[in-house]
Amino acid sequence: MHYKRIRDLRTDHDLRQIDVAEFLGCHEGVYRRYENGSREIPLWALMKLAERYDVSVDYILGITDNRRKYGE
């Protein structure tokens, strides 16, 4: 499920895959595989994306549908 959420978050913010790949410091092909679910996203990248999109890691992972971070 997380691969769909990171794709949806990217498109909601009008970003291209190359934009997010550059933000993460990885190759566009690597990021593309995160989005299509063929490669597991590392924890550091997951945390960085959650911070970038201002959502909880639990939201990206599909554990909750609440986008808000804990304590907010």
Tens of pLDDT along 19-34?
999 999 999 999 999 9
Query: Amino acid identity of 61?
Result: L
Residue ranges of domains in the chain: 2-59
pLDDT of residue 27: 97
71 pLDDT more than 80: no
Class of domain 2-59: mainly alpha
Positive or negative: CA dihedral 4, 1, 27, 30:
negative
Neighbours of 66 (CB within 10 A): 12
Mean pLDDT of the chain: 92
Average pLDDT over residues 26-45: 96
Give DSSP secondary structure letters for 6-67.
Answer: HHHHHHHTT--HHHHHHHHTS-HHHHHHHHHTSSPPPHHHHHHHHHHHT--HHHHHTS-S--
**pLDDT for position 3:** 87
